[in-house]
Amino acid sequence: MANDSPVRRLTVRDIARAKGGEPIVSLTAYTAPVARIADEACDFVLVGDSLGMVLYGMESTVGVTVDMMIAHGRAVVRATRRACIVVDMPFGSYEQSPAQAFGTAARIVAETGCAAVKLEGGQEMAATIDFLTARGVPVLGHVGLMPQSVNAAGFQVQGKTEESARRIRADARAVEAAGAFGIVIENTVELLSRTLTQELTVPTIGIGASPACDGQILVTEDIVGLAGAFTPRFVKRYAELGDGLAGAVRDYAADVRARRFPGPEHIANPAVPQAKSKA
Binding site for ligand KIV (CB under 6 A): 28, 46, 48-50, 88, 184, 186, 207, 217, 219
Q: Report which secondary-structure segment, H or E, holds 37.
A: helix 32-41
CA separation for the pair 6, 82 (Å, rounded): 6
CA separation for the pair 38, 80 (Å, rounded): 8
For residue 11, is it left (φ>0), alpha (ψ between -120 and 50) or beta? beta
Where helices occur in 59-119 by DSSP H, the ranges are 66-79, 98-112
Where helices occur in 154-258 by DSSP H, the ranges are 162-177, 190-199, 220-223, 241-257
In the chain, % helix, strand, coil (3-state, to 5) comes to 40, 15, 45
Q: Which of 186, 190, 221, 240 is flagged as catalytic? A: 186
Q: Which of residues 179 and 206 has its CB atom nearest to ligand KIV in the complex? A: 206
Q: Which of residues 28 and 197 has its CB atom nearest to ligand KIV in the complex? A: 28
Q: How many CB atoms lie within 10 A of CB 7?
A: 6
CB of 49 to ligand KIV, least distance (A): 5
Q: Which of residues 61 and 128 has its CB atom nearest to ligand KIV in the complex? A: 61
Residue nearest to ligand KIV (CB): 48
- Catalytic residue flag (residue 186): yes
CB of 253 to ligand KIV, least distance (A): 32
Q: Which of residues 64 and 165 has its CB atom nearest to ligand KIV in the complex? A: 64
Q: Return the active site residues.
A: 186
